Amino acid sequence: MENESKGIYVFKPQKRSKEQIEASKRWVKETLAYLRAEQARRGVKNW
């Protein structure tokens, strides 16, 4: 705890299951696909 007061943060990586990792990857892909479709629908070019 004393490190935090000095502005030094220790990041402990969370243990994530394969399912959680896959789910987040899938979510990102779906979100990007949705955004691209939305841009195309509005006729925005440079995407």
Whether 25 is in a domain gets the answer: yes
Domain that holds residue 25: 17-47
Confidence (pLDDT) at 3: 60
pLDDT value for 47: 53
In a domain, 34, yes or no: yes
Question: Is residue 33 in some structural domain?
Answer: yes
pTM for this predicted structure = 0.51
* Amino acid in the structure at residue 10: V
CA distance 42 to 7: 45
What local confidence, expressed as pLDDT, does residue 5 receive? 67
- The reported pLDDT for the residue numbered 14 is 77
Cα 14 to the chain's mean position, in Å? 15
The whole-angstrom separation of Cα 17 and Cα 26 is 14
Q: Distance (Å, rounded) from C-alpha 22 to C-alpha 40?
A: 27
12 falls within a domain: no
Tell me the three state secondary structure of residue 9: coil
Residue 38 counted as domain residue: yes
Q: What is the pLDDT along the chain (47 residues), one digit of tens a residue?
A: 566 666 766 777 778 889 998 999 999 999 999 999 998 888 876 65
